[in-house]
Structure 1
Amino acid sequence: MLLRLCAVAVAAAVPVLAPPAVASTVDSGALRAETGPDVSFTDHRGKPVLAGSRGSLAFRTAAGWFASTRVISERRKRGAWHATLATTDPQGRRLSVSVEPDAEGVLALTAAVRGDGAPVQATGAFFRARPGERYLGFGERSNGVDQRGGEVENYVAEGPYEDDELAVIPAFVPAWGFHPRRDATYYPVPWLLSSSGYGVLVDNPETSVYRLDEDGSGQWSVEVEAPRLELRVFAGPRPAEALRRFVERTGRQAPVPDPFVFGPWYQPSGNEEAVLAKLQARDAPLSVAQTYTHYLPCADQLGREDAERARVGRFHAAGLAVTTYYNPMMCTEHPDYAAAAAGGALVEDAAGAPYVYRYSTLESFQVAQFDFTAPFGRELYGRLLGEAVADGHDGWMEDFGEYTPVDARAADGTSGVGLHNVYPRQYHCGAAAEVAGADRGLARFVRSGWTGSASCSPVVWGGDPTVDWGFDGLRSVVTNGLTMGLSGVSTWGSDIGGFFALFENRLSPELLKRWIQVGAVSGVMRTQANGIDIPEKPRPQVWDDEILPQWRRWAKLRTQLYPYLVAADAEYRRSGLPIMRHLALAYPGDPAASAVEDAFLFGPDLLAAPVLDPGLTERSVYVPRGKWVDLWRSATYRESDGSLQLGAPRLLGGGRQVTLPAPLDELPLLARAGTLLTLLPPDVDTLASYGDDGPGVSLDERSGQRALLAFPRGRSSARLESGGGLR
């Protein structure tokens, strides 16, 4: 890594590294920077937080890396340090460096290459890795939670995909929207959260790469494909405090717009009325019906507006909220395309025309995409969103956002390279602003993102997973949820059942049942009834007789847990701690807890250990220190009404590996001893505020009733959402 790279650079340039100059300190309260040719960070007492390597700032050309060597000049201004550093570059280029306070406990560092010479490929910073340190965060990732030992690319793209799928994906996805990597993601955040209790965020819009002790040399680095590096370092002293500071500076996830978001979502299919009637007749709670009329890109609703409104009305009458579909593209055949092109509403190519490319799912279309830096682009998109609002919809899938061509240009002059990664933020924040005045809360659920887009994205889902158990399947779903939580996103869920069923992959009843269980303890519980199947194959559904009892059980629990979810969301608003909570956030001093990637805290007091492999009937899990109650050995699920009845508690001691029973109808759940669990009455069928005259019981009808389950032999507290009385 750095030592090897710097040795090459020095040998080429022949200078000898000068001894380090006396360091100058930049103070942001809880975090200080010790500056010079190398930059390191300490806490307010001088205890090391993040140590820079020798020659810690550097840039790369085709000839290799060139590192900082000495301070040529420096000055202080309003608490900031500005300096010019010599480097090992034989062409004499220098680094212009600034370190300044960004907020309490946050420092900003910039390093820019100055002088003429061979093109700069990247600018980077190099740091020492502590023994046992884990590197978490990075936005939504599927290949692991702890990325130490590998590299992480920060580029908005489709994926990832299983190895045997990679050959067919270019037929569907434009080249700039697809990187065939296992760390590929719709929602990267160039954010490293260390288990040692600090965070680092790259602020550049260009693609960046973290190299995390790949070769075991005890160093890690971050580089950005630009002649200027911009990053911020966040103090802890624990991971949870660093995450809180990150969320405060980049924006909390947009508020949950309506209670129905925390209820069960399902996707109707086939005979919608018959399926809904069956689910409700079997006492299976439902709060949201996801429909997918594509208002964009091609205006599929045109000519069927009356039918669309009637469909929405039927679901509302049954007590469900209803969502529909948008993405940021416009078909060249859309009736508004000519006006959009003439008015500058679309991202353009080098010639100044709309940048048209092929968009493919099961069909292919020629499309251009909206330019949210253009006033008319935002205005027109807002008007088109208003059509779904007028039709009665309560939100929509706000899909895609990964396909910005890297050779395009925006109305504000931004190049495609500068636009590609930030486009999801512009897209989702532009949509949020355009519908901010709607007369009801709108559940906009997105898959793409970048730093800062969470503040405009009330619901995030994990994109299109593979119908499988392992990588990019159910196991990766848990990884996705944990990495998103470690990156400041709380209201997150997956496609229950998966999306891509290519080649031999097939959704089995067992896989669907286990996925339902994971969904029940995610930030959002939503199903996916169909997807892309090659070749075509049937899929089990939540309303099938074999699956329905499982769906009912976990939908019942999910709905009853609404007060608990509201309290967990309120805690996120206060502290940045997500609903799906990696154990490193709660037990930072326990290395075994920080290593767990397949179990997590669901809210503050429930430990979920989902089964992620086929054929298992028990589950080994590391239980953190303290006393825990095995929920299903201590409480009974009553099939008759879906309620929980407490019996004699089975207590488990933590700080050790435990094997829990896990029959197919059971998700291993532990409650912290002393937990106070606030529940809705079990007869609540929907969290939506529709269908007063419908067949089910709504949240509003039980607004004054709550049950409290108290788990013994410990101390705890619980918050009630406003209006909830106990019984």
Structure 2
Amino acid sequence: MPPLKISKKHHNHINNPFPSHPKGLPFIHGSLSFNPSKVPQHHAFQIGEDFQLNWSSGNGGWLSVSHLSQPKRSLWSTIPGEAFISAAAAQTEVEESRGSFAIKDGDVSFVCNHQSIEEIRVLYQSDIEKKAKNPDFLHGYFKADDSLKGMKFPVLIITGWVFSKKKNEKPVYRTLYSGTNKSFTFGSQIRRKPSYAARYWLLLDQKNKNQIGFKVKFGEIAWQWSPRTFPKASKTFPNWKLVRFRRQKLVVHFSRRRGFLPLSCEDDVEEEQKVELFKGFNRVFITYSSEEDERFYGFGEQFSHMEFKGKRVPILVQEQGIGRGDQPITFASNLVSYRSGGDWSTTYAPSPFYMTSKMKSLYLEGYSYSVFDLRKHDRVQIQIYESSAQGRILNGTSPVELIENFTEIIGRPPALPEWIISGAVVGMQGGTEAVRRVWDQLQEHDVPISGFWLQDWVGQRETLIGSQLWWNWEVDKDRYPGWKQLVDDLRACDIQVMTYCNPCLVPTDQKKNRKRDLFEEANNLGILVKDNNGHTYMIPNTTFDVGMLDLTHPKAGNWFKKVLHEMVDSGVRGWMADFGEGLPLDANTYSGEDAVAAHNRYPELWAKINREFVDEWRSTCHEKKKEDSNDNLVFFMRAGFRGSFKWSMLFWEGDQMVSWQKNDGIKSSVVGLLSSGLSGFAFNHSDIGGYCAVNMPMIRYRRSEELLIRWMELNAFSTVFRTHEGNIPSSNCQFYSNRNTLDQFARFAKVYKAWKFYRIKLVKEAAEKGLPVVRHLFLHYPDDEHVHSLSYQQFLVGSEFLVVPVLDRGKKEVKAYFPVSGGEIWQHVWTGRVFTKPLDNSGKNQQGFEAWIEAPIGYPAVFVKHGSSIGDMKSLVKFDIKSLQLRNSRSLLELPQTGTLAARMEKKGGVDIPNDGALQQYIDVALGANEALIGFFDGYMAPEVENHVILQADWAEQ
């Protein structure tokens, strides 16, 4: 394959503030033909024990995959008469600047957009023996791939050709002679562009009861100055005759070397050089059907959108960007640093996985760059930047099942240590004295604290853009004198110390108090990534350059684990494992693998090394019979790919702006939580208050007190409740800035702790099933069409809490949507007010309803399912958290199982009626149905009292 064409943009001082979207190949359309003498009209082919492929020759031919438990429900299907496998060869162009990347399609050499099917065949175990006796078995499949070992039989193989012919071309004929003295006649039309073709094989095999694998491979490319003709392939081409392509004198992909005499013309030489340059395809297209109203969720941690129908979604690990389309910050970011503003699609942790509202799900395997093109209303096209493609199709009848089936194979995180989910993780900097001072303040406010996260433990240095950390992972005892005593004092109060590291190292010649020079050690060991000259690749990062660990090197992991061991020996029990998204695409790794694949795989390797250390530490503690739960380690990271949650223990969402904006502010933090949760990232959270502040003459982003408190409210209902001072602490309001911020921080740290009992249950469920702690409503209400369009407006915690956060400046009420398809009654946690909806005539509630909810600062709109044991909010009373008195509390009616009613009502336009008989009668009926809470509001009243308004309702329990 030709090398990547890379343009470095690191050192441009002025850049285009509106960079164009990376150019890609257009949506590829092609026709499908088949050989009716070998392919039946209609047939169901078995795949493994639980799947089948259904083929129909109607409407030009199409196929679908289904599970035998529901054979009429299609899990994946093609478009009648249209190609579902295509391929191309094109130059790949990359623009790169400090962790931001844009991959584009350059010059296109050839596209094989049409497809024929020559054979659909089920293979059994006994068929494997035939390959040894017949090397041409299945048109040479076993020369291309010997991957049937260990598979669950029967498997299914579809074979045929992909080619670039045009239907309307009328060939003329000429003859070529091969080295075997056999002549081959082919149809040719005199035209400027040649035709290309290659044999393909599509293998389908069952992986487990709910997953079927697919793999696409190609043979060597053949070309002619005419379209490829296929023998009796379809009635569409009745006049075409069998021909043979001239094979090139080179081994391409999976076929054996074969040579034929070349044509003696300059054009042939040019085409030979073109094919030899690419040595095969480097683009694979898989096209299949989609329903117009089908919604697509997933694709990893996405920050701008929850649903992706109508979009073209690239899957590439990189910096998420500063602004991501929010203005004016994106303009400014792009102006001073090329593409650093990002856009709606840029993310630290993408994944080539999705699920849809029609309960269809698919993911790609491998680490190549890919693009999911969902812009057409009736089809999907996946473009894989590789010579082959493989992935899996999932079976499931609900989003919960699909996530369970996905994570069953990919992996699930271990349960988090209990200490980190027991209180606030206080993120701060400043040294020993600053930490002790803030600790005293928090103790005065009785704040439940899990840990202090001290990212500046390594010391700071002054640069042109301000204070930055020394990336040399050892404690700076000048900044933290008495480090060991500080750690011990905190641990004595069940407060753990957390630190910071990343896979990059900086030369420390100017750091006088260093004990070790980790950069020099790693450089001498040869475990840093190399440039094209074989030298250590010094990667630009803000105002200094760094070396990056080559995690594919067999010595790198053990060396870095020793660095972590020294950190943990000092009493540290957690750390941020930052970065992982910035491996340059022109870097050379020890493994020698494809540059883009190495780039996407790097965050998984980074997580794996950290996790291996945690597991080794736990094993050591177990051997020493140390069962103290406070000794359990945890790390959190932001970069990831499809399988990162198998290794990483906890994620955080990276660097949001300290703003209310949609694409990179507080709203995006909610979207990131929910999209990642639907992609298998079970444990995730954001920095309270956001991270990125800006202090420019014309553009200022500073964290306000209101934003900080609203973010506290939001994160009190996430997996981890952790603060961050931000990149410019002095510009941001902090939790310790004044009495009010301290009071609110104490309040919501207590709220967070109040539902710890449920959080422990959800953490265990995530480790066992892969379900996220924070959930989009689609996960539990997939049949409620209203929830399909929700993004940041609201979310579930587990299945029992409904949270509607305030995400706009100055707002004191929110519109909540209450799903009631399961007959739910939702109770407001601050007032006890209940929300439900009468059943329709069928006795069901498919659609919920909306209501405006008061949510002044300190009282986010949070609801719990009535009747759930999780809904016992007496724990709030335990922490002295006061209830909210709403302006219009007339609609509250709380009914214990037995008691005496004292109610005041009034007829609409009438006078008060105490102890109304009709009301009492309705209550009796309700209690007889074992309903303990009944709400009357917004027109949802029992018919018996529909002309009344409840003013007050009190019960005295018997």
TM over 0.5: yes
Distance 1:512 1:386 in 2: 35
What's the CA shift for 1:357?
Answer: 1.1
1:419 aligns with 2:611: no
Among candidates 296, 299, 305, match of residue 144 of structure 1 = 305
Aligned residue identity for 2:574: G
Moved over 4 A (4+): 3-7, 15-20, 28-31, 35-39, 72-75, 166-175, 302-306, 678-685, 710-716
Corresponding position: 1:284 with 2:447: yes
Aligned to 1:76: 123
Which secondary structure state, in structure 2, belongs to the residue aligned with residue 619 of structure 1? strand
- Aligned pair partner of 1:492 in 675, 684, 700: 684
The aligned counterpart of 1:629 is 826
CA deviation after TM superposition for structure 1 residue 242, in Å: 1.1
2: CA distance between counterparts of 1:329 and 1:172?
A: 24
- Which residue of structure 2 lines up, in the alignment, with residue 160 of structure 1? 321
Identical counterparts, % of pairs? 23
How is 1:138-537 mapped onto 2 (pairs within 5 angstroms)?
Answer: 138-162=299-323, 163=325, 164-166=328-330, 169=333, 180-212=342-374, 214-216=375-377, 218-269=378-429, 271-293=434-456, 295=458, 297-299=471-473, 301-302=475-476, 304=478, 307-333=482-508, 335-360=517-542, 364-438=543-617, 439=621, 440-470=631-661, 471-502=663-694, 503-532=699-728, 537=731
1:21 to 16, 32, 39: 39
- Range that drifts further, 596-605 or 150-159: 596-605
Partner of 1:92: 197
The answer to whether the 8 Å contact 1:158/1:179 transfers is no
Larger Rg: 2
Asked if the contact 2:755/2:875 (under 8 Å) is kept, the reply is no
Q: Give the aligned residue type for 2:302.
A: R
Answer yes or no: is the 8 Å Cα contact 1:408–1:415 preserved in 2.
no
* CA distance in structure 2 between the aligned counterparts of 1:74 and 1:332, rounded to whole angstroms: 60
Q: CA deviation at 1:318?
A: 4.0
Once the two structures are TM-superposed, the CA of residue 88 in structure 1 deviates from its matched residue by 2.9
Asked if the contact 2:528/2:549 (under 8 Å) is kept, the reply is yes
Pair 551,18 (structure 1): closer, same or farther in 2 beyond 3 Å: farther
With over 3 angstroms needed to count, the CA separation of the structure-2 counterparts of 1:38 and 1:88, relative to structure 1, is farther
| The 10-residue stretch of structure 1 (603-612 or 619-628) with the greater mean CA deviation from structure 2 | 619-628
Whether the aligned pair in 1 keeps the contact of 2:120 and 2:156 (CA below 8 Å) is no
Q: In structure 1, what residue type is equivalent to 2:824?
A: K
Distance in 2, Cα, partners of 1:253 & 1:170: 36
How far did 1:572 drift? 2.2
The answer as to whether partners of 1:284 and 1:552 remain within 8 angstroms in 2 is: yes
**Shift, 1:75, TM fit:** 5.4
In structure 1, how many angstroms separate the alpha carbons of the residues matched to 2:357 and 2:876?
40
- Segments of structure 1 that go 5 or more residues without pairing to the other structure are 636-648, 686-709, 717-727
* Kept after mapping to 1: 8 A contact 2:425/2:722: yes
Higher relative contact order (CA 8 A, sep 6+): 1
What is the CA-CA distance between 1:539 and the residue it aligns to? 2.5
Give 1:676's aligned residue. Answer: 869
Quickly say closer, same or farther: Cα 1:313–1:591, change in 2 above 3 A: same
* Runs of 5+ consecutive residues of structure 2 not aligned to the other structure: 1-24, 90-107, 125-152, 165-194, 223-274, 459-469, 509-515, 622-630, 838-846, 880-895, 898-926, 934-958
Equivalent residues in 2 for 1:48-67, closer than 5 Å: 48-53=74-79, 54-61=82-89, 62=108, 63-64=110-111, 66-67=113-114
Q: Deviations over 1:135-169 (max 9, x none)?
A: 00111101111111112111000013314444665
Give the counterpart letter for 1:353 in structure 2.
H
TM-score computed with the length of structure 1 as normaliser? 0.85
Is the alpha carbon distance of 1:336 and 1:540 closer, same or farther for their aligned partners in structure 2, counting shifts above 3 Å?
closer
Cα distance change, pair 478–497 in 1 and its aligned pair in 2 (3 A): same
CA gap of 1:676–1:330, structure 2 versus 1, over 3 A, is: same
Cα deviation, 1:109-147, whole Å, max 9, x if unaligned, reads 111232236543421211211232110011110111111
Q: 1:616 aligns with which of 811, 815, 829?
A: 811
Q: Which SS does the other structure have where 2:302 is aligned? A: coil
Q: Deviations over 1:687-715 (max 9, x none)?
A: xxxxxxxxxxxxxxxxxxxxxxx999669
- Pick the aligned partner of 1:568 from 762, 765, 773: 762
Per the alignment, in what secondary structure is the counterpart of residue 145 of structure 1? coil
Query: Measured at CA, do residues 4 and 477 of structure 1 come closer, stay the same or move farther in structure 2, by a change above 3 Å?
Result: closer
Q: 1:249 to 1:506 in 2, by over 3 A?
A: same
Matched length: 665
- Mark the CA change 1:170 to 1:18 in structure 2 (over 3 Å): closer, same or farther: farther
1:101 equivalent among 180, 184, 206: 206
Deviation by residue 1:604-641 (Cα, 9 ceiling, x = unmatched): 21111111112211111221012323324544xxxxxx
| Gap change, CA 1:632 and 1:238, over 3 Å in 2 | closer
Question: Could you tell me which amino acid in structure 1 is paired with residue 530 of structure 2?
Answer: E
Amino acid at match of 1:379: N
Instruction: Work out the CA distance in 1 between the residues paired with 2:559 and 2:217.
Output: 39
Question: SS of the counterpart of 1:525?
Answer: coil
Q: Greater CA deviation, 124-133 or 100-109?
A: 124-133
Residue of structure 2 equivalent to 1:111? 216
Q: Kindly indicate whether the alpha-carbon contact (under 8 Å) linking 1:156 and 1:186 is maintained by their aligned counterparts in 2.
A: yes
Query: Structure 1 residues 6, 390: CA separation in 2 closer, same or farther (over 3 Å shift)?
Result: closer
After TM superposition, give the deviation of residue 234 of structure 1 in Å: 0.7
Q: Is residue 198–residue 239 contact of structure 1 (8 Å, CA) maintained in 2? A: no
Distance in 1, matches of 2:805 and 2:757, equals 22
Are positions 1:133 and 2:159 aligned together?
Answer: no
The one-letter code sitting in structure 1 at the alignment partner of 2:379 is Q
C-alpha contact 2:825 2:865 (8 A) present in aligned 1: yes
Q: Is the 8 A contact 1:406 1:415 kept in 2?
A: no
- Say whether the 8 Å CA contact 1:348–1:410 is kept in structure 2: yes
CA distance in 2, matches of 1:124, 1:35: 20
Aligned to 1:42: 66
The match for 2:272 is none
How far residue 683 of structure 1 moved from its aligned partner, in angstroms, is 9.8
Give, in angstroms, the shift of residue 66 of structure 1.
1.2
Q: CA deviation at 1:251?
A: 0.3
1:17 and 1:348, CA in 2 relative to 1: closer, same or farther beyond 3 A? Answer: same
Q: CA RMSD in A?
A: 3.1
Equivalents in 2 of 1:83, 1:350: separation in Å? 41
- Alignment pair present for 1:544 and 2:738: yes
Distance 1:675-1:154 versus aligned 2 partners, 3 A rule: same
Distance in 1, matches of 2:932 and 2:214, equals 44
**Using the alignment, how far apart are the partners of 2:646 and 2:394 within structure 1?**
19
* Aligned partner letter, 2:204: V
Partner of residue 858, structure 2: 665
